[in-house]
């Protein structure tokens, strides 16, 4: 994974076209959303565990995971996921009910609820079996 693909890369400007953009320009207008807070809890050769805390309306910023990952909500809430091309998906999250996603899809996660939202993200690094 390159540094530009990591949502914790503070140098990545908000609203800038995600890596891989052919024209290198802006894909959509700049927004003034508060950034979510990422707290790295564990980073080993096998997993990376990050807790994400969002105030209402806060976002991760555009990113792409290099590994399969599991998300375990810490709080109930509603999240909006923006996708390339202007699409989006919303979902209600229930504390303690995990879900998983494959690596590779660009996205931006936003707290679409009226209360703070938190989840723990576990990225599973490729390793022999």
Q: Would you say the C-alpha torsion 113, 19, 121, 129 has a positive or negative sign?
A: positive
Cα Rg of the chain (Å, integer)? 14
End-to-end CA distance of the chain: 21
pLDDT for the residue 29: 60
Below-70 pLDDT ranges, the chain: 1-31, 127-129
pLDDT of residue 32: 85
Measured CA to CA, the distance from residue 1 to residue 22 in angstroms comes to 19
pLDDT, residue 22, reads 52
* Predicted pLDDT of residue 13: 39
Question: Tokens for 59?
Answer: 């976002």
Quote the pTM value. Answer: 0.75
- May I ask the CATH class of domain 3-124? mainly beta
Q: How high is the pLDDT of residue 10?
A: 41
Can you give the pLDDT at residue 126?
A: 80
Contact 75, 127 (CB under 8 A): no
């Amino acid at each position: 994974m390159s540094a530009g693909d990591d949502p914790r890369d503070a140098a990545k400007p908000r609203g800038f076209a995600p890596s891989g953009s052919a024209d290198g320009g802006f894909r959509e207008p700049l927004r003034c959303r508060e950034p979510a807070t990422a707290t790295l809890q564990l980073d080993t050769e096998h997993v990376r565990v990050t807790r994400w805390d969002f105030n209402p309306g806060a976002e991760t910023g555009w990113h792409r995971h290099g590994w399969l990952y599991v998300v375990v909500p810490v709080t109930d809430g509603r999240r909006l996921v923006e996708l390339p091309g202007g699409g989006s998906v919303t979902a209600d999250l229930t504390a303690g009910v995990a879900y998983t996603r494959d690596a590779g899809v660009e996205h931006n996660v936003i707290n679409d609820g009226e209360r703070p939202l938190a989840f723990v993200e576990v990225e599973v690094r490729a390793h022999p079996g």
